[in-house]
Amino acid sequence: MADAGMVPTDKSPYALNRASGDLAEGAQKLAEEIGSTSVEALLATANRTGRNKGAPGAIGDMRPKPAAWYAFDDKDQDTADWYPQGLTCGEDSGEIGVPVFVASWYFKPQVGERGIRVSFLSPRTLRYQHALLVEAAQDGSYAPIDIHAGGIALHGDLLYVADTANGLRVFDLNHLLDLRTAQNDLGDPTRVGRHGGKFHAFGYRYIVPQTDAWQVAQAGPKFSFVSIDRSGATPQLITGEYRENDPGGWVARWDLDLAGGEPNDAFVMGHPKIQGAISWNGTWYLSQAAGSTANGKLLVHADGELLTRPFPIGPEDLTVQGGKLWSVTEFRNKRVIFGVSL
């Protein structure tokens, strides 16, 4: 059918300004006191195990089924507190020595606030480990980050996280910190920060402090998801806005250094409920949700045409690894990382 979306639009409303503050200083102080580790080392001691083709409820009536999918463990399937949102991969980074997916989760608290976390999952072993993302002050104190984290993207050692009303937060994986190197235990599982001479992170072994930020230059645009187009000569950062019942959500592409803060181009997507977007070899792929019980759709804009492909229930952010398009699903007992052909 004729393409009804991806209409070019004014890119200036989506400009970003750098807002580093003292984030890097706080992260560096923590790194000096705790000690950094690597993603490879984290995966070697990962404490959770996913299931190959587990949680089949996430697939719903999708036919054909995904080429591959990996389910989180029973505890992470069943929790009503944490919801997967963003997805990126080791190929996006180009610096990580083993295949890996990285998924973000936001905390939907019954009581209190525990911020956002990321899961590092090996598609080879299905072992995975959570790490808490934190914001550190110049004195080395730190606290959880209360945002939705609807999308994430890796480039080099930098992890970009969508901050809905504000823009992008940046975390340097050179500051992936292992609390085990600083103390014998993981502290009080109900606390976070420095207390009683110890580091606490709600019982998590690993934390990653924020090192940088890019804030919207003018109020209005929402940053709902993030991805990276690595298909061209120069990789580009992509981000865009989810709108519930409005086809006017935008998507834009930046140079990775975000020089000047203004995107290279911007488009109106023409579809509501878009949870993730990526361009690849001149084609746009949009992940469209349909609630917790109905299958979503993959909308493919290519050569002026719109194709609709089946997708699992609750699809979110998008990334490309191993020649496949990958996403993550969010709903209870339907939480999987899945891949389909491009």
Q: What is the pLDDT along the chain (342 residues), one digit of tens a residue?
A: 445 789 999 999 999 999 999 999 999 999 999 999 999 999 999 999 999 999 999 999 999 999 999 999 999 999 999 999 999 999 999 999 999 999 999 999 767 889 999 999 999 999 999 999 999 998 889 999 999 999 999 999 999 999 999 999 999 999 999 999 888 788 889 999 998 889 999 999 999 999 999 999 988 999 999 999 999 999 999 999 999 999 999 999 999 988 878 999 999 999 999 999 999 999 999 999 999 999 999 999 998 899 999 999 999 999 999 999 999 999 999 999 999 999
pLDDT of the residue at 261? 86
pLDDT at 3: 56
Q: Which residues contact 204 (CB under 8 A, 6 or more apart)?
A: 117, 130, 131, 132, 179, 186
Tell the burial category of 42 from Cβ atoms under 10 Å away from its Cβ (0-12, 13-18, 19+): buried
Angle value at C-alpha 205, between 204 and 208, nearest 5 degrees: 85
- Nearest alpha-carbon partner for 314 in 116, 59, 134, 100: 59
pLDDT at position 260 is: 78
Q: Give the model's pLDDT for residue 78.
A: 97
Looking at domain 7-341, its CATH class is mainly beta
Query: How many Cα neighbours within 13 Å face the side chain of 49?
Result: 3
Q: Alpha-carbon distance 209 to 336, whole Å?
A: 26
Structure tokens, 257: 């250094």
Question: Is-contact 326 87, C-beta < 8 A?
Answer: yes
Strand order in the sheet with 51-52: 51-52, 68-71, 336-341, 324-329, 315-321
User: How many C-alpha atoms does 15 have within 13 Å on its Cβ side?
Assistant: 10
> Could you tell me the residue ranges of all domains in the chain?
7-341
